[in-house]
Amino acid sequence: MNYIDQVYLFVGKAVVLALIISFLLSLIIALLVGISFKTGRYFLARPMLIGISLLESLVKAIFWLGRADDKIVDDVGISLMNYINRGKFYATPVEDRFVFMPQCLRSVECPAKLTPEGIKCVGCGRCGIGEAKRLAESKGYRFFVVPGSSFIKRIIQKYHPRGIVGVGCEMEIKEGLILCNSHGIPAIGVPLTTAGCVSTTLEWERLYDVLLQRSSREPERHQA
């Protein structure tokens, strides 16, 4: 066997070994995700989150092959990020924490107007945003209703918040938490209960739990 053949053989074995290791790690992560979802207990939170981030497609494929809902992977991933960020978030002064709400939660009859810093809620009472705004601002939070991620990026660049609460669909929350992490900002995501472009819904008490630092409505978490 010549030198080139030996190199190809070595590379082939390395690729196969890497695939086997990736698959085994994905199985372990999938098992941990399933256990966490069912029991509400998160073990090895940071390693599990890293595993989900690196092997998300494989982990979801394992759930799909097992005829389980791969949405569980996203649910657990968001909860893990919230858990990891929670301590630093509450360590920041409340006046440096911002709340971002999606415009899709507004009533279809909302009279609020779009401004350079988002939609200015007028507290008309047609949806739950006005009450959330009053509560958040009474505690010292800055409150924004935004039509898209570009507004969030603009506000972050302008005001440099030190903590963020974001409400949105799961995909938006995942992207937002990653964005905040890239800026070194601890963030907590609160998923919508129904998603869409208009008339979405939210479990408002879950948002209030975050704003008031009450016990979380997410499952209890523990690190091993």
Between 39 and 169, name the one with better pLDDT: 169
Contact by Cβ (8 Å): 216, 42:
no
What letter represents residue 219's amino acid?
A: P
Is the pTM higher than 0.75? The answer reads yes
CB 26 within 8 A of CB 59: yes
Percentage of the chain exceeding pLDDT 90: 39
- Of 135, 156, 161, 136, nearest to 146 by C-alpha is 156
pLDDT of residue 215: 61
Question: For the segment 143-197, what is each residue's pLDDT rounded down to a tens digit?
Answer: 999 988 888 889 999 999 999 999 998 888 988 898 898 889 999 999 999 877 7
Radius of gyration of the chain (CA): 21
For every residue of 160-221, DSSP letters joined together read --SEEEEEE-HHHHHHHHHHHHHTT--EEEEE-SB-SSSS-B--HHHHHHHHTTPPPSSPP-
Q: Which of 165, 166, 167, 163 is nearest to 183 (CA)?
A: 163
Determine how many CB atoms are found less than 10 A away from the CB of residue 211: 20
Give the residue from 199, 197, 219, 202 showing the smallest Cα distance to 132: 202
- Residue 220 pLDDT exceeds 60: no
Tens of pLDDT, residues 72-85: 888 888 889 998 89
Q: Which of 32-41, 80-89, 126-135, 168-177 has the lowest mean pLDDT?
A: 32-41
